Structure 1
């Protein structure tokens, strides 16, 4: 199944797996959409169903205004997810998606939903360790320079005036959201937290990755991959294997290897 379908505007499920034992909920980075996780779907075993969050203002929600504040965004996503979390689940977020994933889990807990089996974050320090930022205040050239620095945005998109204008509209809003985000005090989670990072990522050092221990009373582990901020694109198979490794291997292991991954 593709598109919004019965999951509503906030969630995308590219392949329904009714018998799946676990749901994997994925949150995109600033400027990203649910489609960035579509390639993951073919790497997952039948026991894991992928659900990707779709922020407004991009892809099939392009005509909608982006959400400007974290409270509203996380609240809307939590309300949508609450209706589909009828089995154990994992949460994964990259970069800005890490902060939104954390805030969404906190809101789900306040709604009486059990915590995920694991919170898996990538490419961003823990909430409260990054405050402020001025990227969203830059002109279009400055914003493009930041996207080029981090990678992940095709050069041909930034070179085309119409495409660039369209992309920068929601990218600027995303940067405003994450740069003005100030986490409210909240009790620590109890679920395990895994932190993924690129070894050359300027946005997350190994020391900063360890700071995620402050958001949970559960265990913390850190995984470093070759690459920069968008290491998870060339390292997709290794990343998905690591994400699946947070589960009970009995749920996902087939014939001695992760399904679809050598």
Structure 2
């Protein structure tokens, strides 16, 4: 089944030929599809990149944000069903890592179509999650937390008008992360690759290594220099590693 070009859920970077694989990129809390813009045509002429567009930001700014990891996973999985005739790879950063896991579970358990690989970045495995204690009750506290973690979009928060527009989605995402508490991990029917920055303030290398227990089909861990948003400064190295993993087997 062909994927329609009008899916509101994905910003697609179409290939000139029918894709051999699709790489689905899941942004972090407060992030948007544009975070992966420079990835669009970085993986070869036969790999189509699809960056997920969460409600409540950019093209979907008029929509209410979705709160709840399970609700978001249900919606993205449903939107992906027209794609499962082509192998899917999932890459999720931070909150997107947990979302990718939940999508992978739904694809394998309900549709018999696990992804070819799940790649998670700077996120603990579901059975190792710890409760987030910070309430971020005020906008200033929430903004301070976003700025602490870093990323490419934090400068938008300095503009009062833009801040008013984007804070609801950020708050919804942080609520989604806070509500996604530890649960028994279900092994996946695909390999798992975990990435982490060596100086991430929120998750360390051994915590990210915990994904190994959910990856009977194979696990690898890649540690890169940097913090929670190592993938900005180490973009070329990360893309090169992913490209090699997505390359066809000879």
* TM exceeding 0.5: yes
Q: Does structure 2 retain, via aligned residues, the 8 Å contact 1:57–1:64?
A: yes
Q: Which moved more, 1:125-134 or 1:182-191?
A: 182-191
CA distance in 1: counterparts of 2:164 and 2:215, whole angstroms: 40
Residue number in structure 1 paired with 2:167: 168
Q: Quick check: 1:11 aligned with 2:7?
A: no
* CA deviation after TM superposition for structure 1 residue 204, in Å: 2.0
Q: Quick check: 1:206 aligned with 2:205?
A: yes
CA distance in 2: counterparts of 1:141 and 1:153, whole angstroms: 19
Residue number in structure 2 paired with 1:115: 114
CA distance in 1: counterparts of 2:241 and 2:234, whole angstroms: 11
* CA deviation after TM superposition for structure 1 residue 106, in Å: 0.6
5+ residue gaps, structure 2, are none
Structure 1 pair 167–134 and aligned structure 2 pair: CA distance change class (3 A): farther
* Length, aligned pairs only: 248
C-alpha offsets along residues 204-225 of structure 1, whole Å, 9 cap, x if unaligned?
A: 2111111011222121111111
Residue number in structure 1 paired with 2:129: 130
Q: Does structure 2 retain, via aligned residues, the 8 Å contact 1:121–1:195?
A: yes
Q: Does structure 2 retain, via aligned residues, the 8 Å contact 1:147–1:153?
A: no
* CA deviation after TM superposition for structure 1 residue 153, in Å: 4.7
* CA deviation after TM superposition for structure 1 residue 232, in Å: 0.5
Residue number in structure 1 paired with 2:71: 72
Q: Does structure 2 retain, via aligned residues, the 8 Å contact 1:136–1:176?
A: no
3-state SS in 2 of match to 1:114: coil
CA distance in 2: counterparts of 1:9 and 1:155, whole angstroms: 25
3-state SS in 1 of match to 2:111: coil
Q: Quick check: 1:220 aligned with 2:219?
A: yes
Residue number in structure 1 paired with 2:190: 191
Residue number in structure 2 paired with 1:53: 52
* CA deviation after TM superposition for structure 1 residue 156, in Å: 3.5
3-state SS in 1 of match to 2:100: helix
Q: CA RMSD in A?
A: 2.0
3-state SS in 1 of match to 2:84: coil
Residue number in structure 2 paired with 1:33: 32
5+ residue gaps, structure 1, are 252-262
Q: Does structure 1 retain, via aligned residues, the 8 Å contact 2:17–2:46?
A: no
CA distance in 2: counterparts of 1:135 and 1:67, whole angstroms: 21
C-alpha offsets along residues 149-206 of structure 1, whole Å, 9 cap, x if unaligned?
A: 1111545322211111222111010000111113654631121111111111112211
| TM-score, normalised with respect to structure 1 | 0.88
